[in-house]
Amino acid sequence: MKPKAQIWRDNNGVVHVEADSLEDLFWGQGYAQAADRGMQMILMRILGQGRASELLDGSDETLAIDTFFRRMNWGGNTAEQVTALTPEARTWVTAYVEGINARFREKTPWEFKLIGCAVEPWQMEDTLMITRMLGYLTLSQSQAEIERLVVEMVQAGVDQDRLEALFPGLLGGLDIDLLKQVKLNERIVPPSLLWNIAVPRMMASNNWVVAGSKTASGQPILANDPHLEVNRLPNVWQEMSLRVGDRYMMGAAMPGLPGILAGRNLDVAWGATYAFMDTIDSWVEDCRGGKYRRGADEWKPFRKRTETVLRKKKASVELLFFENNHGVLDGDPIDPGLYLATRWSADRSGAESVNNILKMWSVRTVEEAMDIMGRAEADWSIVFADTTGNIGFQMSGLLPKRREGISGLIPLPGWEPENDWQGYYSHQDLPRSLNPDQGFFATANNDLNAWGKVTAINMPMGPYRAERIASLLEERQGLTAQDMFAMHYDVYSTHAQRFMEILRPLLPDTPQGEILRSWDFCYDKDSRGAYLFEAVYAGMLREVFGKSGVGEAVFDHLVQETGTFIDFYLNFDRVLLSDTSPWFGEATREDLYAKAAGNALAAEPRPWGETRQIHFRHMLFGGKLPAFLGFDRGPVTGIGGRATIHQGQIYRSGGRETTFFPSFRIVTDLSTDHCRTNLAGGPSDRRFSKWYVSDLENWLNGTYKTLSADPEQEKRAF
């Protein structure tokens, strides 16, 4: 068929789509995504629908994955979201879907023929499902895990004093006796293979925007680097440039979604981080005979949802879920007892997010962009800049209205109506700022509540990355894109600096003690100080929260198989940095630090980079094919730590190695019509394409390519 858009690559392999209308433009974007990232899109859909057992693998492990996704029900209620699209958005999404299917009719990824999986046509409902997956995995999920951890701690005997020290001001409504009676049927760790294919673990990020008063060009500069799981191929993001006439939009797209999620158009630039807003709650439900209690003695039946999971070469399995206004029950209400029901505020989302992402095509001012993107249903912290010199920040997301004194961390009695959500706050009540006095705005998953009318965040990440970004921006004038590049690769840790103020006087007079004493707090690849500090820090966590806290077995599980100490390290740091704490038992803080240091510093130090070895695994065949075929790449050496601007974390979660590094970096000076970027991978998911990992060296070496809107630039065949 004759294409409705002109599709070509630039010299870096990035796809450009040009068309005469927006309808044809989004057709072209769909076609290009299906060509370059069709495998990724199909795998995302299979997982989101809970059909991996049917189409990929009939194992028990895969059944556990399908059970997770069927429980979340992201593929359900999407038809109603299609009707909630604006007429304009429905036209564009229809064209986008037609473009995807036009490509799939021509050619589908050969990997699915190899495994005997037929590729079904893409539907608008699939795109809306992808928005839910993007918003939840594993951003909101991390909140759900920590709330479940609180219950597990209570049931393990952690008393209220220690809980208050770990979660200060967040325990409103805590009833320890009640939580001890709850029957927990799922542990906080996800199924062992949940993240092995297609779905990336999502975590953290930095973004900042600088006013023209502080830049060399006199126009704002915006920078963004989402920290996601990078040890997968292809990269979760797909760079694209879209153009109709004189207007363009370019940056990072998400395969399966039309539009650009982080980038710019002719007038406005935007970049996003995860907001750490608490948009998920659990309630304690009193159950018997398949019913749940309301009030003193009113019993109501659960809604029953039956899901049939087909399995390759095995008998199908029927799953039964029980639901009420508090979400999905974790348990069988036929068996009398107390169970948790859990709900995510964006469980029926999609249309409003797509409506507003597509509006970013024509947005012309920061103020307009704040109002548009603030209405997105998932929780993001977004910074903006425009060509008239404005900068801004807006948080998005459906923040539930809870009764006074309730943070959302503690499961509350579901039978008491005052514990129900009372709607959602307006985006205008969420943290936001237009043209802040300091001439810049930065977010790094830190506490941003001071910028809002309501408390949106109850468990942020540590302030360290945001502090470092702010210190570098405050002290300088005449900033350029090159300064932003250097900040992206900055590995100085104010987190380590703060701990070392306490630790330094306690260090032994040994070669290892001297290395750590003279450390510059930088997590570069050759640093032995970083290696020793991390060993001491891990020892402190074990001394305080393992040996005398939740027990070493539970501690080991949390460290080895979950992201608890990665996602919420601020809560644990708060205890470790306190002068005194109920977690210290009879010991002093200095005693615990000295003991941890003595044990850790007995080891021979290694260069930090030796612990940051990253293997990039193919999302479908990773580790299953001979290395010489090139589906997997690496190892490569990473840099950075948990609290450096260049985040660099490697740990195990759900039985597999997980990484959090900058997955994509973008800088744009609004005095230009281009972006400077690099990507941990390449444009295509086709292993035998020259663009499979074509940007990886740039990503490693700190080289930024130019993504230009110039229609006269050299065009390569698509």
Q: What distance separates the 2 farthest-apart alpha carbons in the chain?
A: 77
pLDDT value for 299? 98
Mean pLDDT in residue range 223-227? 95
Give the rounded distance of the alpha carbon of 592 from its chain centre. 34
pLDDT value for 195? 32
Residues shown for the chain: 718
* SS3 state at 564: helix
% the chain with pLDDT above 90: 83
DSSP assignment letter at 212 = G
pLDDT value for 318? 97
Mean pLDDT in residue range 423-446? 97
Residue 502 near residue 587, CB atoms below 8 Å: no
Mean pLDDT in residue range 467-494? 97
Judge whether residue 138 has pLDDT over 60.
no
Mean pLDDT in residue range 507-519? 96
Query: Which residues have a Cβ under 8 Å from the Cβ of 205 and sit 6 or more positions away?
Result: 224, 225, 226, 227, 228, 272, 273, 274, 444, 445
Mean pLDDT in residue range 52-71? 91
**What is the spatial distance between Cα 482 and Cα 476, in angstroms, rounded to a whole number?**
13
**CA-closest candidate to residue 237, choices 222, 220, 221, 224:** 224
Q: Which residue has the higher pLDDT, 710 or 493?
A: 493
Residue 170 near residue 409, CB atoms below 8 Å: yes
Task: Convert the pLDDT of each residue in 649-698 to its tens digit.
Answer: 887 665 567 788 999 999 999 999 999 999 999 999 999 999 999 999 99
Mean pLDDT in residue range 572-594? 95
Mean pLDDT in residue range 166-173? 95
Query: Which pLDDT band, with edges at 50, 70 and 90, does 228 fall under?
Result: confident
pLDDT value for 203? 59
Look up tokens 């840099």; give the residue. Answer: 639
pLDDT value for 567? 80
Mean pLDDT in residue range 131-150? 80
Judge whether residue 198 has pLDDT over 60.
no
Judge whether residue 212 has pLDDT over 60.
yes
Mean pLDDT in residue range 321-341? 97
pLDDT value for 213? 98
Lowest mean pLDDT among 401-405, 523-527, 710-714: 710-714
Beta bridge partners of 6: 18
Mean pLDDT in residue range 56-85? 91
Look up tokens 């570069």; give the residue. Answer: 524
Locate all alpha helices (DSSP H) within 49-167, ordered by sequence: 52-55, 60-72, 78-84, 87-106, 110-114, 124-135, 141-155, 160-166
Query: Which pLDDT band, with edges at 50, 70 and 90, does 467 fall under?
Result: very high
pLDDT value for 177? 97
pLDDT value for 143? 78
**Structural domains of the chain, ranges and CATH numbers in brackets:** 1-279+349-401+430-490+612-709 (3.60.20.10), 494-607 (1.10.1400)
pLDDT value for 653? 60
Mean pLDDT in residue range 490-513? 97
Judge whether residue 192 has pLDDT over 70.
no
Which two structure tokens, joined as six digits, stand for 32? Answer: 């290009």
Supply angle C-alpha 633, 699, 31, rounded to 5. Answer: 80
pLDDT value for 616? 94
pLDDT value for 189? 36
154 phi/psi in degrees, rounded to 5 = -60, -45
Query: Which pLDDT band, with edges at 50, 70 and 90, does 288 fall under?
Result: very high
Judge whether residue 3 has pLDDT over 50.
yes
Mean pLDDT in residue range 515-522? 98
Question: How does strand 247-253 pair with strand 613-618?
Answer: unpaired
**What is the spatial distance between Cα 590 and Cα 680, in angstroms, rounded to a whole number?**
41
Q: What is the mean pLDDT of the chain?
A: 93
Task: Convert the pLDDT of each residue in 84-111 to its tens digit.
Answer: 999 999 999 999 999 999 999 999 999 9
Query: Which pLDDT band, with edges at 50, 70 and 90, does 442 fall under?
Result: very high
pLDDT value for 214? 98
Judge whether residue 298 has pLDDT over 90.
yes
Give the rounded distance of the alpha carbon of 173 from its chain centre. 29
* SS3 state at 86: coil
pLDDT value for 656? 64
Judge whether residue 219 has pLDDT over 50.
yes
Specify the pTM: 0.95
Question: How does strand 291-294 pair with strand 412-413?
Answer: unpaired
Which two structure tokens, joined as six digits, stand for 53? Answer: 């057992």
Q: Provide, for the chain, the percentages of residues in helix, strand and coil under a 3-state DSSP scheme, each rounded to the nearest 5.
A: 35, 25, 40
pLDDT value for 245? 96
Which two structure tokens, joined as six digits, stand for 504? Answer: 């330094």
**CA-closest candidate to residue 638, choices 509, 525, 544:** 525
Look up tokens 């796809």; give the residue. Answer: 15
pLDDT value for 654? 55
